[in-house]
Structure 1
Amino acid sequence: MTICASSSSDSTGSETSRAWIVHGVVVLAGAAAAAAAAALYLRRSRNLRRRVVGIIPARFASSRFEGKPLVRILGKPMIQRTWERAKLASTLDHVVVATDNEKIAECCRGFGADVIMTSESCRNGTERCNEALQKLGKTYDIVVNIQGDEPLIEPEIIDGIVRALQGAPDAVFSTAVTALKPEDAFDPNRVKCVINNSGYAIYFSRGLIPFNKSGKVNPKFPYLLHLGIQSYDTKFLKIYPQLPPTPLQLEEDLEQLKVLENGYKMKVIKVDHDAHGVDTPEDVEKIEALMRERNIQ
């Protein structure tokens, strides 16, 4: 029986079929590899910025209120009340006080807080947080700068800004705002903020922003008050002290403006919070009266 040789067209067809089979295998292998890579990325992304430390910067010297962290509010030092509120936040793995003053450090150790001693040369809370982070000796993905002069800060706000930064990979900084009271419109100690439609900060000012032609408060406009609490990606926090001071930062004396002036993004959340910061000795009485009303011990 004679076995006929394949024609040239049959040979071409077989080669084409084999080529398509090989191509299909490659495509399937590539798809599988891409799927595996995507799954790995998703697993890793869920772990991004997971480790969080809360740092409460506290300095004794202050032009408006020297020794403010140690002032007694219904029998407890203000720094203790802030620390106790921060400890209630579910997103924080650790809470420490960063100070340059031994009196503050001794007080904090007395009520059980971990303390990191930092340099007197720190120009602001952000730089103090950065120095404390380096001395902690542990790896964290997010640092929360918790202002020690708002002893009634809500733990939910701390958790909110942490989750905002975790959910905004293009941002290096997050903070919170609330509604500005009309009587605080022209108070330079009450920092105002404007944000864009995506929830990122545009500007911060001690003056009223936006400012209209009449020069008066518009009762229909939703002005925003900046709450001092803020969180940073730790990689950015290491860069921050190396950035030179910027014109807007120096003019307004607001450290967050250096972040914006250098082109970094800042995520902002809106919260319903009746802000009660302690900027002057007169504010202590107001805080105590409010705490009595709320039956806070």
Structure 2
Amino acid sequence: MSTLIVIPARYASTRYPGKPLVELKGATGESISLVERSWRAARKVEGDVEVVVATDDTRIADAAEAFGAEVVMTSEACRNGTERCAEAIEVRGTQHDIVVNLQGDAPLTPPWFVEALIASMQANPKAEAATPVLRCDGKALNGFLEDRRAGRVGGTTAVFGADMSGLYFSKEMIPYTGKTYGPDDETPVFHHVGVYAYRPAALAAYMGWEPGPLEQLEGLEQLRFLEHGAHLECVEVDARGQPFWELNNPEDVPRIEAMLAEAGMP
């Protein structure tokens, strides 16, 4: 299936202004901006794929064009990455079968996560959108719990039905488990990875819906699909030993730099 990967990037992040241009050092000590690292991650996806950066800020646009990215300028009115993806394909136009939202704060996203979404959408025509989920080991879950105890909003968790259709997503740890887990223990908690694949028609429908109360409470854009009865497929992925984390807060910078070094990524 032909795929357009859109990397939505905005400067005026509430929690971390200027986040897309934050420099991150990798294994070689070279500093590369967050948006460029996300673009590099997108370009590793195999298949019939194009990649664009969608932004409303000329500083991000200039930086993206300098490292060779195609840029689509969108408005400041976009309330989240999904709306920015929808506007980007309105501005640019697309004949692609699938649009992928690879959020610009997830430079450690392995290409096989995106490839799994595309394969799932191809295998399940009723899926209007799809998103990856990653089973937490004890180390990851304990990291989430530590963030919450410190008052930081860290990763998002997901629960889904037997048919893998999404039931709910939350910035709290769901489902509840009172157990204590060692670093390598398997847990029943799934980390929602901030990547989405949509059919273009689903993006158009999304733009016609107002945010519901759950989306507004949690600040999670994917809940708009669930609140309006759309089929959002959860796709379980395997990190294959590669560390994964999203850059949500300034405190995440050293954590991600350590993971880049551990993975041997420049």
Cross-structure match for 2:89: 133
Offset of 1:218 from its aligned partner?
6.0
| 1:288 corresponds to 2:253 | no
| 1:266 corresponds to 2:232 | yes
Cross-structure match for 1:206: 171
Determine what percentage of the aligned residue pairs are the same residue: 37
Do the aligned partners of 1:185 and 1:217 also contact (CA within 8 Å) in 2? no
Offset of 1:221 from its aligned partner?
4.4
2:212 to 242, 246, 255: 246
Offset of 1:136 from its aligned partner?
1.3
Distance in 1, Cα, partners of 2:180 & 2:223: 25
Please list, as runs of the form range in 1=range in 2, the aligned pairs for 1:97-112 lying within 5 A after superposition.
97-112=53-68
1:165 to 104, 121, 124: 121
Offset of 1:275 from its aligned partner?
2.1
More helix by share: 1
Distance in 2, Cα, partners of 1:138 & 1:230: 17
Do the aligned partners of 2:9 and 2:53 also contact (CA within 8 Å) in 1? yes
Please list, as runs of the form range in 1=range in 2, the aligned pairs for 1:1-297 lying within 5 A after superposition.
50-74=1-25, 75-180=31-136, 181-186=140-145, 187=148, 188-211=153-176, 216-217=178-179, 219=181, 221-273=187-239, 274-297=243-266
Call closer, same or farther: CA 1:259–1:218 in 2, change over 3 Å. farther
Gaps of 5+ in 2: 26-30
Offset of 1:272 from its aligned partner?
2.2
Call closer, same or farther: CA 1:271–1:261 in 2, change over 3 Å. same
Call closer, same or farther: CA 1:133–1:105 in 2, change over 3 Å. same
Cross-structure match for 1:8: none
Q: Which amino acid aligns with 2:230?
A: Y
Distance in 2, Cα, partners of 1:73 & 1:204: 29
Per-residue CA shift, 1:29-64, capped at 9, x if unaligned? xxxxxxxxxxxxxxxxxxxxx221000000001121
Distance in 2, Cα, partners of 1:222 & 1:58: 32
Q: Which amino acid aligns with 1:65?
A: Y
Secondary structure at 2:194's aligned position in 1? strand
Call closer, same or farther: CA 1:277–1:66 in 2, change over 3 Å. same
Gaps of 5+ in 1: 1-49
Q: Which moved more, 1:134-143 or 1:151-160?
A: 134-143
Offset of 1:92 from its aligned partner?
4.6
Offset of 1:295 from its aligned partner?
2.2
User: Which structure has the bigger radius of gyration?
Assistant: 1
Structure number with the bigger relative contact order (C-alpha 8 A, sep ≥ 6) is 2
Offset of 1:296 from its aligned partner?
1.5
C-alpha RMSD over aligned residues: 1.5
Distance in 2, Cα, partners of 1:262 & 1:247: 11
TM-score by length of 2: 0.88
TM-score by length of 1: 0.79
Offset of 1:217 from its aligned partner?
4.4
Cross-structure match for 2:28: none
Do the aligned partners of 1:200 and 1:268 also contact (CA within 8 Å) in 2? yes
Do the aligned partners of 2:132 and 2:234 also contact (CA within 8 Å) in 1? yes
Distance in 2, Cα, partners of 1:66 & 1:167: 39
